[in-house]
Structure 1
Amino acid sequence: MRRTARTRHGVAAVLLTVAITGSLLTACDSGGGKGGSAESEPPQGQHQQGGGRTPAGPEGPVLAVKIDNVSAARPQTGLDQADLVYAEQVEGGLSRLMAVFATKLPAVIGPVRSARESDLELLGQFHDPTLAFSGAQHKLLPLIDKAPLNPEPPDKNSSAYFRDNGKAAPHNLYLRPQKLMGTAPGAAALTTGFHFGAAPSGGTPVTSRTVRFPSARFTFTWSEQLHRWLVAMDGTPTVTADGKQVAPATVVVQYVRVRESQFHDVLGNYSPYSQTVGSGKAQVLRDGRVFDADWKRPSAPEGTRFTTADGKPVNFAQGQVWVVLAAE
């Protein structure tokens, strides 16, 4: 039986410390696939303004989905409807996405892939989030089960997942999110600490920004017509399986410590750990301009605050947000 939120949160700090320093092997992969998604505009809800943990939305916690991001997994499904997308580095310098859904649930999301140790720290900012993932290395699974989140891999809820023969395994595992949650929880569940509102003063005009990982790259190109940033990954425009352009209103390049974990997969590839608790520099892209910012997240249960040099919050534009966790 699932523990209550009160009990789970009572051990959150200890478990998150274990997740950061504990002894695990890199998570293994088993997912991938495609499917149709419900039509919608990018989510627009006003997100949490404070930095600490608050109660989940009226219908429950957010849904976080680990999404495959190699070329064989594209185009993805449902990515345009996420409220928040994190881009993180994985083995071999490749990238993987974590899409967070609160205001809307598409019919299908994917391809779904495996969890990593650093996901526990990243998801600590949300109140008892549901994590959909294809699996994990067996030594990581106990930490996932004890963390302050609700894990939902296929072996726990097989009816929520399916494989699509249009893609080869492991890039063909897809999620029907309504089988896990029923309804979207609402914007109040997005306890990220982000501020939304009018743009800060200043900034520098920019038409395009590229962020590089060792074996992957993200390019965001400003569209005056859409008033959004058009996403391209590894040089290819990012569209969903049903042809929708992925176009966030705000892009954050957050410079974090990416350290080498002491654990690795069977091929000897070490899993990068993107450290999202702490402080550092960032760039915020909105309205065709880039703003220099500082970021701070004192502990895992808190959200991340982005501020100007004088300590004022950097407001994001309403709509989907992408956060690229780049090496400092």
Structure 2
Amino acid sequence: MGPVATVGRERGARGRRAATTALLAATVAAALAAGCTTGGGGPGDDGRGTSRQSEQGTSPSATGSSVLAVKLDNAAAARPHTGLDAADIVYAEQVEGGLSRLMAVYATQLPKTVGPVRSARESDLELLRQFDRPTLAFSGAQKKLLPLIDEAPLRAETPGSAPGAYFRGSGKPAPHNLYLRPERLVPEEPGQAALTTGFRYGSAPAGGTAATSQTVRYPAARFTFTWSDSQDRWLVGMDGAPATTAAGKRVAAATVVVQYVKVRESAFRDFLGNNTPYTETVGSGKARVLRDGRAYDVSWNREDASDGTAFTTGDGTPVNFAKGQVWVVYAKAS
């Protein structure tokens, strides 16, 4: 397994590195708060400063049969999240300075509100190719990335293209207070069939080992998943604190996937000069699947960006996930 994950306990050597990363985290968090990945922060909040409502031939109210993906701020000031518990899938990725960001994918239910919404990354375009023209809701992206988003086979919706779908809340300071009303973009739930991820659901695979917790570390962030027998779920922790929704509900996953991938430098940097990591989700490698209080070391494979990801045991048997919310945390392979 890669060195970023530990089971049952946090390794002391990495705990001692917290002090050395604190300054970096604070610096980058301040940069992100200042909108470092946006291309201008104009009236549209999408880096263009003007409305893009008609550029892609769709209106914000068009009914789609594909998923809604929302990029979520995951800085400490952005928590607790709203609407995260309604997502079918939550993807976690590393961003500038070793911090983290989330992408919540909605198909079977749409909450009234989701947020806080933040900027997109280049890796998102490859990840979303597995869906049939998904709707990507985000606020801001680096100027050089905007043409790639426009060319991608997705429906990009920002405060500039769909101003009626977004609003600023009063409970958090900007920029951590931008929220989305999903029904303004996707009036009806796309349904289970829209989740073309390649994930399989059913009875647990044979084998595995008993596990009570799993921690995934980024240079300046971490996720911890702790098994709860009473809730039959993996309780989510972020940066050492329990993750809850704005309503006070504990965020919990039925299945957690720690997927070991190549994380490399991209061609993009923030205004401080920090490189934006590119998380490669096409290829193959190792993963750890957590469900029902057990951990399974498996393999993953995604041959093409238009494909979903297959998870299999050593003998090639497909791995079933537990029914309910799935968290996929991308960790750097060793």
Give the TM-score range, shorter chain: 0.7 to 0.9
Amino acid at match of 1:161: Y
Equivalent of 1:104 in 104, 109, 112: 109
Q: Which runs of 5+ in 1 are unaligned?
A: 1-25, 32-57
Assess if the C-alpha contact under 8 Å between 1:59 and 1:186 holds in 2. no
Equivalent of 2:269 in 244, 253, 264: 264
- Residue 3 of structure 2 aligns with which residue? none
- Residue 167 of structure 1 aligns with which residue? 172
Deviation at 1:84, TM superposition (A): 0.1
- Give the distance between the partners of 2:150 and 2:88, measured in 1 at CA: 25
- Residue 181 of structure 2 aligns with which residue? 176
TM-score w.r.t. the length of structure 2 is 0.81
Deviation at 1:139, TM superposition (A): 1.5
Equivalent of 2:97 in 89, 92, 101: 92
Assess if the C-alpha contact under 8 Å between 2:236 and 2:242 holds in 1. yes
How many percent identity over aligned positions? 68
- Residue 196 of structure 1 aligns with which residue? 201
- Residue 206 of structure 1 aligns with which residue? 211
- Give the distance between the partners of 1:314 and 1:28, measured in 2 at CA: 39
Amino acid at match of 2:124: D
What's the Cα RMSD here? 1.3
What per-residue deviation string (whole Å, max 9, x for no partner) do you get for residues 28-64 of structure 1? 2867xxxxxxxxxxxxxxxxxxxxxxxxxx9611000
Equivalent of 2:129 in 99, 115, 124: 124
- Give the distance between the partners of 1:211 and 1:70, measured in 2 at CA: 16
- Residue 75 of structure 1 aligns with which residue? 80
- Residue 138 of structure 1 aligns with which residue? 143
- Give the distance between the partners of 1:198 and 1:235, measured in 2 at CA: 31
2:318 pairs with 1:308: no
**SS of residue paired to 1:139:** helix
- Residue 20 of structure 2 aligns with which residue? none
- Show the 5 A alignment for 1:1-328: 27-28=37-38, 60-328=65-333
Deviation at 1:98, TM superposition (A): 0.2
Assess if the C-alpha contact under 8 Å between 1:27 and 1:140 holds in 2. no
Amino acid at match of 1:81: A
Q: Which runs of 5+ in 2 are unaligned?
A: 1-35, 46-62
**SS of residue paired to 1:178:** helix
Aligned length: 277
- Give the distance between the partners of 1:300 and 1:126, measured in 2 at CA: 9
**SS of residue paired to 1:174:** strand
Assess if the C-alpha contact under 8 Å between 1:73 and 1:171 holds in 2. yes
Assess if the C-alpha contact under 8 Å between 1:69 and 1:97 holds in 2. yes
- Give the distance between the partners of 2:304 and 2:293, measured in 1 at CA: 32
Instruction: List 4+ stretches of structure 1 deviating above 4 A.
Output: none
Amino acid at match of 2:313: T
